C-alpha cells in the first residue's frame, strides 16, 4: 500500500489542557476552588489545585522540537506547540501528519483523574463531569469525526463511576480512561466485587476500559542513580502486570463482552505473554481453580484485549501470534515517543519490510480502532478526504519544522541531576507507602 493511501486513526495521544477548560462546564459555586493554570516566576505554567502544583514537563510536549530540549523541566505554554492545547492547531498538526483521528488522554488530572478525588464527593464529581463535558463538547465537538471521545472515571466511587459511564455514553462516548492498578491508589483491586457496577456499565454501553501505563503512579523505578534510559526503557513494560491481573480476574470470565485496551504498552511482548499464560493454565489450573469455560487464556485474551503500537517492527512481524484483530496504531502526540509528523513514513517502512498485505494494514491503522470504539469518522469525513495524502494536501503550508522553543538553559548534566533528584523523591514516597 502506498503511504498516501493509508488511513490513520491513533488510539493514544494526549492533551495539554488549556487554561479556560472549566469556564463553561463547572457550576459557579465551585469555580473559585477549581484547578487553575498559574504562571510561575521561572516562566513555567503549572496547574494549581489546593495544595498541589502539577507541572507540564518537557517529555510531555516535545512535538516539533529538537531532542536537545527533552527533559523534565517544567514549561510554559509559549514553549510548546499550540497544537498541544489548542484544538484548531491540533487538527492542523493532525492533517500535516496524515492522521484522520485521535483519542486523547488527559494530562494534569492524571490518567485516572485521581487529582480530583477530594474529601468533598460532590465537588469531585462536578470536576470530573466538567472535564468530560469540556472534552466531549468543546474539544471533540469542534471537529466531528476527528476525535474518539474519552471520559475520565469517578475513580473513588464505583457506583458513581458506572453512572458517569452511562451519562457520557448518551453523548456518544465509548471510551473510559482508568488506572492499571486501582489497589496502588488505595482502592479495591480488579478482583474485588466493589467494581461490579462499573463492569456492567461498560458492557451495557459498549465502552472500552483503557488502562494506560503509569496511570497508578507506580511505574517501575530503578535505582536512584540509574540513568534515565532505564526508566524510559521499562515504561511500556509496566502494562504487562496489568494485562495479567485483568486476564486472570473474575470480570473477564463473567462478562463476555468486556473490552480492555492496553494503552501505550507496545505489542512485541505479547506472543511470549500468551505462551506463558497458557502454560500457567496447563500446569496450575487444577489447584488455582481457574476456569475459562473450555478456552485457553490466550483465546480469551484475544476476545477481550486491544493492544497498541507506535512503530514496533517486531510486533508487526508477530501480528498473527498476537491477533490481527487486536492491534491498533498509536501516535502518542505530543510525547517524546511520538513519530509525528512522520508517522506515515515510519509505518510504511515497517509494513514494507514485513510485506504486510493491504487488508491487514487497514485493520491495524484504522478499522480495528473504529470497531473497538464504535467510532465512524466517515459519517463526517468522506473516505477519499481521510487518507494520508488528502489530509496532507489540506495542510499545505502548515509549519512542521523542528524549532527550538525552550527558554531554559539547562545542559545535559543539569537535566540528569534534576532527573535523579525526582527519582530519589519518588523512591522515598513508594517506600513510605
Give 334-352 pLDDT, tens digit per residue: 998 999 999 999 999 999 9
Instruction: State the pairing for strand pair 305-309/259-263.
Output: parallel
Average pLDDT estimate for 420-428 = 55
Ranking 54-63, 156-165, 302-311, 358-367 by mean pLDDT, the lowest is: 54-63
The greatest distance separating any two alpha carbons of the chain, rounded to the nearest whole angstrom, comes to 64
Does the pLDDT of residue 432 top 80, yes or no?
A: no
Share of the chain above pLDDT 70, in %: 92
The alpha helices in 239-291, defined as continuous H runs, are 239-247, 250-254, 270-288
For residue 234, name the pLDDT band (cuts at 50, 70, 90). confident
Average pLDDT estimate for 235-251 = 91
> Cβ(299)–Cβ(274) under 8 Å?
no
Report CA torsion sign: 428, 17, 42, 49.
negative
- Higher per-residue pLDDT: 260 or 57: 260
Q: Give 291's contacts (C-beta < 8 A, 6+ positions apart).
A: 253, 285
Count of the separate structural domains present in the chain? 1
Mean of pLDDT over the chain = 92
| DSSP per-residue letters across 3-32 | GGG--EEEEEEE----TTTTTTTS-HHHHT
Q: How many CB atoms lie within 10 A of CB 28?
A: 6
For residue 188, name the pLDDT band (cuts at 50, 70, 90). very high
Report CA torsion sign: 46, 52, 57, 60.
negative
> Cβ(410)–Cβ(44) under 8 Å?
no
- Higher per-residue pLDDT: 68 or 281: 281
> What does the pLDDT read at residue 219?
56
Residues 119-129: pLDDT tens digits? 999 999 999 99
Does the pLDDT of residue 86 top 50, yes or no?
A: yes
Does the pLDDT of residue 295 top 80, yes or no?
A: yes
Domain residues for the domain of 222 are 3-432
For residue 430, name the pLDDT band (cuts at 50, 70, 90). very low
Average pLDDT estimate for 97-101 = 98
| CATH number of the domain residue 286 falls in | 3.20.20.140
Cα-Cα-Cα-Cα dihedral of 415, 421, 424, 425, to 10°?
-120
Q: What pairs with residue 208 in β-bridges? A: 175, 259
Q: What is the pTM of this model?
A: 0.93
Q: Which of 146, 55, 37 is nearest to 408 (CA)?
A: 55
Amino acid at each position: 500500500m502506498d503511504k498516501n493511501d493509508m488511513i490513520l486513526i491513533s488510539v493514544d495521544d494526549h492533551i495539554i489542557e488549556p487554561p479556560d477548560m472549566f469556564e463553561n462546564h463547572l457550576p459557579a459555586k465551585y469555580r473559585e476552588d477549581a484547578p487553575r493554570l498559574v504562571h510561575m516566576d521561572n516562566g513555567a505554567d503549572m496547574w494549581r489545585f489546593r495544595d498541589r502544583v502539577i507541572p507540564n514537563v518537557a517529555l510531555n510536549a516535545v512535538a516539533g522540537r529538537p531532542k536537545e530540549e527533552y527533559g523534565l523541566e517544567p514549561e510554559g505554554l509559549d514553549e510548546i506547540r499550540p497544537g498541544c492545547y489548542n484544538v484548531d492547531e491540533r487538527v492542523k498538526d493532525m492533517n500535516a501528519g496524515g492522521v484522520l483521528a485521535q483519542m486523547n488522554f488527559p494530562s494534569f488530572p492524571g490518567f485516572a483523574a485521581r487529582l480530583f478525588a477530594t474529601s468533598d464527593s460532590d465537588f469531585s464529581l462536578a470536576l470530573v463531569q466538567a472535564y468530560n463535558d469540556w472534552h466531549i463538547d468543546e474539544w471533540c465537538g469542534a471537529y466531528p469525526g476527528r476525535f474518539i471521545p474519552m471520559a475520565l472515571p469517578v475513580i473513588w466511587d464505583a457506583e458513581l463511576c458506572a453512572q458517569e459511564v452511562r451519562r457520557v455514553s448518551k453523548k456518544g462516548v465509548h471510551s473510559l480512561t482508568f488506572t492499571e492498578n486501582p489497589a496502588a491508589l488505595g482502592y479495591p483491586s480488579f478482583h474485588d466485587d466493589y467494581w461490579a457496577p462499573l463492569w456492567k456499565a461498560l458492557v451495557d454501553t459498549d465502552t472500552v476500559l483503557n488502562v494506560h501505563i503509569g496511570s497508578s503512579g507506580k511505574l517501575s523505578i530503578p535505582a536512584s542513580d540509574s540513568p534515565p534510559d532505564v526508566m524510559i526503557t521499562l515504561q511500556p513494560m509496566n502494562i504487562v502486570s496489568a494485562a495479567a491481573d485483568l486476564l486472570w480476574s473474575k470480570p473477564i470470565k463473567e462478562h463476555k463482552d468486556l473490552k480492555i485496551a492496553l494503552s501505550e504498552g507496545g505489542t512485541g511482548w505479547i506472543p511470549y505473554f500468551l505462551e506463558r499464560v497458557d502454560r500457567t493454565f496447563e500446569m496450575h489450573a487444577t489447584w488455582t481453580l481457574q476456569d475459562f469455560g473450555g478456552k485457553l487464556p490466550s483465546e480469551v485474551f484475544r476476545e477481550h484485549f486491544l493492544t497498541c503500537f507506535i512503530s514496533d517492527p517486531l510486533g508487526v512481524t508477530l501480528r498473527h501470534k498476537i491477533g490481527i484483530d487486536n492491534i491498533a496504531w498509536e501516535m502518542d502526540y505530543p510525547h517524546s515517543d511520538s513519530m509525528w509528523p512522520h508517522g506515515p513514513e515510519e509505518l510504511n517502512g515497517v509494513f514494507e519490510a514485513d510485506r504486510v498485505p493491504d487488508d491487514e494494514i487497514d485493520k491495524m491503522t484504522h478499522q480495528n480502532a473504529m470497531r473497538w470504539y464504535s467510532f465512524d469518522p466517515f459519517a463526517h469525513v468522506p473516505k477519499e478526504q481521510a487518507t494520508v495524502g488528502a489530509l496532507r494536501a489540506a495542510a499545505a503550508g502548515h509549519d512542521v519544522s523542528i524549532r527550538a522553543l525552550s527558554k531554559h538553559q539547562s545542559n545535559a548534566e543539569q537535566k540528569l541531576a534534576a532527573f535523579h533528584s525526582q527519582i530519589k523523591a519518588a523512591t522515598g514516597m513508594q517506600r513510605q507507602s
